[in-house]
Each structure stands twice: as structure tokens, then as C-alpha cells.
């Protein structure tokens, strides 16, 4: 099958007063070990840094270090004329076609800013991404819990229940609809949030896509109530894993039914010593878990082996759909003449048991610890180089390349430079889409 594409990682991410421990070398090495051959990370501006500078900072961190190909989304932590100009340059000259905005955290944007950013994405032919949770409600809920003495990791989920995620999903969809902008909702963690997405889609159609995470498909929020702080804090991310034990299966069924389209890992790893920053206040536990290495195996186990999705759908949700949405198809996400040679030979009969003792990531904890998965990559070919050979990992630092994710025309359509999507007609003829490219592309998806 085509190599996995993980469109959601955070390597070397300075966040919540610390920095994620998987760097671009360990992160991409681990990705390959698990059958992923392309990752898309998030360039995040430090305080005072512009989006364009953040992009360059991330290129410097990653180029020469990555073992597999990578692309970049750029995070917008505010809205101004400068941000708007940077978006123009990022799309025109830097191979960026996606921008993430946050509806919570210190750097959340308000509805008017979302509107402006979405509108500009639309004009550029870019995709808007949102972290959908109502940040203002979370602040209030968390303050109340802390005042009542609920300071442990269990307070994290209690302060950000499903409806707080669902409300933000609906609001983001409504705003995107006003300006007809394609919207991609990252890390959807609850049934209620996905229902909000689907209800919007049913009513209005439109280009709205949903991503969920490997962790959300395999584990639930009861882990965050574990008596051991390190264990509980090790499972904290946002939006949170849900205490409803049915959630992982429901999310897998949403993927099966094409209500959700993509799976990522949101790999954003912190050691136990870093998680301990929130020992006395759950609001200070650095948010994030592992997954870049185990995503493919975990989804195979919980999806295909469990009989919920078939192998074709597995390929769609772990590779092809991300390639299509981020305009990398057919270069990535398919095995075809002319595509990059990113190929995985998957042994569905073999099993492996996940453990921090044997994983290739830098982090000292693994949320899938002890889980036995069917589905192991026997060979992983990254852009023509055999990097897993009969199960043996042989990566090369710097073998990966930065991959441009071109915007969708008409904004800057240059057939010399940008990969075009082909429409295959029933009579076998193939046509290049140049008119209304974005619409055709996303509808075909
Ligand atoms: O908890 C998470 N998800 N950490 C990474 C940052 C983000 O919001 O994606
Ligand atoms: Zn530049
Ligand atoms: Zn997020
Ligand atoms: Zn993330």
C-alpha cells in the first residue's frame, strides 16, 4: 500500500513552557518504523514571531534532519495585516496551503478573526484548519474546579466536556460557510463534535473535513483518572480523551462511514518530568501524546482486524485522503507511475506489542503501552530508499525532503510548477482540471 501520511505532528514544539521531546530526526525515524512515509508538522510562531518567520524557523529545524518527507501547516496565533501578507507569501513562494487557527489556549482567536482568516484562505486557495474547543468556557470551568480543590489530571476532561468541543465545531463550520472556505477540523475527539460536523454537512454540504487521532481510536479518558499521576498526566491532550468507553469505536465507525476522513497522530510528546509541571494544577500539564510510530498498527488493529473497516478504507484514512485534501495527490497517497516511491508492504498476520522500551521515539512513555497489534510493516520504502527491510529499520538522517503543498488555483495556478488533479471519465479518458480547480478537487475527494 502507499506509505502512510500523518498530517498532524508537533516535533520540537515549544509549548506550555516546555518543548516536545521528539525532534525531526527521532520523530520521522519513528514514523518510518511504523509505516508512515510523509508527515505534515505545524510551524508555530513564538511570541513576537511572524508566521513567515515561524515557517523559516521550522525549515531550519527540520531540513537535513528528517528521515522521511515532510510538509508544513502554519499556525496563525492572531490576526493582522502582517499575518495576511505572510499568508500571501507562504502560499505563493513557500509551498504552504494550510493554516491552523485555535479557538482555545492563550493564543485563541475570536469569531471575527476566524472570519477574516477563513476569508483570506478562501481567496488564496488554502485550507483553513481549526482546533475547535470553546476556550472561554474552558477557562471558567477550570477556574471553578481549581477553586473547589480539583487540581489533578481528571480536571482536564471535566473542564472541557464534549459539548464545548461540539459548540466550537459548529461555530467554525458556520463561519467557514459565510465565506465559502474549505474547513478541516483537526483532532476530533468526541461523538458529539462529529455529530455537529455531520449535521452541518447534511444541511449545507460544503467542504468540511474531519480528522481524528490514533489515540482517540484506541484508548479512552478513563486513563486520565489513573491513581498514578504520571500515568494520568501522560494521557492528557486537547481536546481530551473521552471517559465514554464507547467513543473509540464510535469514532472508527465515523471513519468507516466517511463522516470523518483522516487520521493523524497529533504526536506531541513530553517526558514524565515535563508532564510533572502540572503536578498541582492540571492546567499546567503540557498537552500531548505520542502516536506517530504506532498510528498505522493501532488503526489496523482497531479498524481492520476488529472488522469495522476494510483494507481499502484503511489506506484512504491513513494516506490517500490526506494527500487529496492537502493537494499532494497523486504525487503521494497512491502507488502509480509518476508518484513518489513511498510504499509499505504490510504483514497483517504478524503482531507486535507496543512498549516505550522498544519504540523509536525519544519520549519515555507510550500511551499504547502493552497493546498487541496485528499489522506490522515488513518493508517501508521512502522515496525509493528501503528504510525498513524485513522488519529491520535503516533510516538515513536527511533523506527526507520538504514537500510543497501547493494552493488550489485559480490563485496561483502554474501547470509547470504544481501537480494537477486528473479526472478520469467513464470512457477511460483522463482530463486535467484547470477550471475552478479547488471546487472540482475537493468535490472529487
Ligand atoms: O494536546 C494537544 N493536542 N497538543 C498539541 C497541540 C494541539 O493543539 O494540537
Ligand atoms: Zn522566505
Ligand atoms: Zn490543536
Ligand atoms: Zn496538534
Residue that is written with C-alpha cell 506531541 in the block: 268
**Interior/surface letters 165-203, b for 16+ CB within 10 angstroms, e for the rest:** bbbbbbbbbebbbebebbbbbbbbbbbbbbbbbbebbee
Cell matching residue 99: 493554516
Ligand 1 in reach of 156 Cβ (< 6 A): no
| Of 129, 72, 120, 122, nearest in space to 328 by CA | 72
8-state DSSP, 325: H
| Nearest partner of 353 among 378, 370, 367, judged by Cα | 370
Q: Is the dihedral of CA 318, 319, 321, 326 positive or negative?
A: positive
Q: Digits of tens for pLDDT over the chain (445 positions)?
A: 999 999 999 999 999 999 999 999 999 999 999 999 999 999 999 999 999 999 999 999 999 999 999 999 999 999 999 999 999 999 999 999 999 999 999 999 999 999 999 999 999 999 999 999 999 999 999 999 999 999 999 999 999 999 999 999 999 999 999 999 999 999 999 999 999 999 999 999 878 999 999 999 999 999 999 999 999 999 999 999 999 999 999 999 999 999 999 999 999 999 999 999 999 999 999 999 999 999 999 999 999 999 999 999 999 999 999 999 999 999 999 999 999 999 999 999 999 999 999 999 999 999 999 999 999 999 999 999 999 999 999 999 999 999 999 998 744 333 343 334 445 556 655 454 443 344 444 444 4
CB-ligand 1 contact for 275 (6 Å cutoff): no
Q: What is the DSSP string of 230-249?
A: HHHHHT--SSPPPS-TTHHH
> Helix, strand or coil for residue 386?
strand
Nearest CA-CA partner of 200 in 185, 189, 186? 185
- Grid coordinates given for 98: 494550510
Closest ligand to Cα 238? 1
Phi–psi pair at 374, nearest 5 degrees: -75, 150
* 422 bridge partner residues: 432
C-beta 264 within 6 A of ligand 1: no
From the CA of 86, how far away is ligand 2's center (Å)? 10
For residues 239 and 165, is the Cβ–Cβ distance under 8 A?
A: yes
What are the helix and strand counts (H, E) for the chain? 16, 16
56, three cell numbers: 523559516
Q: Give the ipTM of the model, two decimals please.
A: 0.96
Q: Which residue's C-alpha comes closest to atom 5 of ligand 1?
A: 288
Pocket test for ligand 1, best of 101, 135, 287, 292 (most atoms within 8 A of CB): 287
Provide φ and ψ at 328, rounded to 5°.
-105, -5
- Residue whose C-alpha is closest to residue 185's, from 252, 134, 131, 118: 131
What predicted TM-score, i.e. pTM, was given to this entire model?
Answer: 0.93
Identify whether the C-beta of residue 43 lies closer than 8 Å to the C-beta of residue 54: yes
3 state DSSP class of 404: coil
Nearest CA-CA partner of 3 in 71, 68, 96, 66: 68
Decide: 67 and 400 in contact? Cβ < 8 Å.
yes
Q: Which residues are within 8 A (CB) of 316 and not within 5 positions of it... i.e. 6 or more apart?
A: 261
| CA 227 from centre of chain | 30
DSSP helix/strand/coil, 71: strand
Place of cell 493564543: 107
Q: Whose CA is nearest to atom 4 of ligand 1?
A: 288
- The answer for residues whose C-beta is within 8 angstroms of residue 216's C-beta and 6 or more apart is 187, 188, 189, 241, 242, 247, 248, 251
* 268 CA → ligand 1 middle, Å: 7
Residue 278 CA to residue 268 CA, distance in Å, equals 16
Amino acid at each position: 500500500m502507499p506509505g502512510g501520511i500523518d498530517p498532524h505532528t508537533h516535533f520540537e514544539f515549544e509549548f506550555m513552557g516546555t518543548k516536545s521531546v521528539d525532534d525531526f530526526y527521532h520523530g520521522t525515524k519513528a514514523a518510518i518504523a511504523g509505516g508512515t512515509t510523509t508527515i505534515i508538522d505545524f510551524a508555530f510562531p513564538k511570541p513576537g514571531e511572524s508566521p513567515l518567520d515561524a515557517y523559516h524557523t521550522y525549515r531550519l529545524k527540520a531540513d537535513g534532519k528528517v528521515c522521511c518527507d515532510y510538509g508544513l501547516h502554519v499556525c496563525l496565533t492572531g490576526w493582522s495585516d502582517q499575518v495576511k501578507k505572510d499568508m500571501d507569501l507562504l502560499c505563493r513562494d513557500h509551498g504552504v496551503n494550510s493554516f491552523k487557527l485555535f479557538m482555545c489556549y492563550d493564543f485563541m482567536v475570536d469569531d471575527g478573526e476566524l472570519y477574516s482568516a477563513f476569508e483570506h484562505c478562501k481567496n488564496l486557495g488554502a485550507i483553513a484548519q481549526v482546533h475547535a474547543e470553546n476556550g472561554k468556557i474552558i477557562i471558567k470551568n477550570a477556574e471553578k474546579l481549581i477553586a473547589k480543590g480539583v487540581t489533578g489530571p481528571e480536571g482536564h476532561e471535566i473542564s472541557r466536556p464534549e459539548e464545548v468541543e461540539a459548540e466550537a465545531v459548529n461555530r467554525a463550520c458556520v463561519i467557514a460557510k459565510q465565506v465559502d472556505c474549505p474547513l478541516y477540523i483537526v483532532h476530533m475527539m468526541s461523538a458529539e463534535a462529529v455529530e455537529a460536523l455531520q449535521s452541518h454537512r447534511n444541511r449545507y454540504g460544503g467542504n468540511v473535513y474531519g480528522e481524528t487521532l490514533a489515540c482517540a481510536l484506541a484508548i479512552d479518558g478513563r486513563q486520565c483518572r489513573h491513581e498514578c499521576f504520571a500515568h494520568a498526566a501522560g494521557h492528557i491532550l486537547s481536546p481530551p480523551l473521552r471517559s465514554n468507553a464507547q467513543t473509540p469505536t464510535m469514532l472508527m465507525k465515523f471513519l468507516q462511514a466517511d463522516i470523518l476522513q483522516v487520521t493523524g497522530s497529533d504526536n506531541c510528546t513530553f517526558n514524565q518530568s515535563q508532564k510533572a509541571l502540572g503536578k498541582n494544577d492540571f492546567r499546567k500539564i503540557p498537552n500531548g501524546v505520542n502516536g506517530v510510530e504506532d498510528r498505522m498498527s493501532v488503526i489496523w488493529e482497531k479498524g481492520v482486524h476488529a472488522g469495522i473497516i476494510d483494507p481499502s478504507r484503511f489506506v484512504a484514512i491513513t494516506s490517500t485522503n490526506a494527500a487529496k485534501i492537502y493537494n499532494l495527490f497523486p504525487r503521494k497517497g497512491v502507488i502509480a507511475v509518476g508518484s513518489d516511491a513511498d510504499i509499505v508492504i504490510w504483514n497483517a498476520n504478524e503482531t507486535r506489542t507496543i512498549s516505550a522500551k522498544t519504540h523509536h521515539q525519544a519520549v519515555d512513555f507510550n500511551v499504547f503501552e502493552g497493546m498487541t497489534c496485528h499489522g506490522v510493516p515488513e518493508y517501508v520504502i521512502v522515496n525509493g530508499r528501503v528504510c525498513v527491510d524485513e522488519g529491520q529499520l535503516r533510516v538515513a538522517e536527511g533523506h527526507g525532503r520538504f514537500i510543497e503543498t501547493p494552493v488550489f488555483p485559480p490563485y496561483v495556478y502554474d501547470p509547470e510548477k504544481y501537480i494537477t488533479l486528473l479526472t478520469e471519465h467513464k470512457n477511460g479518458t483522463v482530463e486535467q482540471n484547470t477550471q475552478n480547480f479547488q471546487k472540482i478537487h475537493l468535490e472529487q475527494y
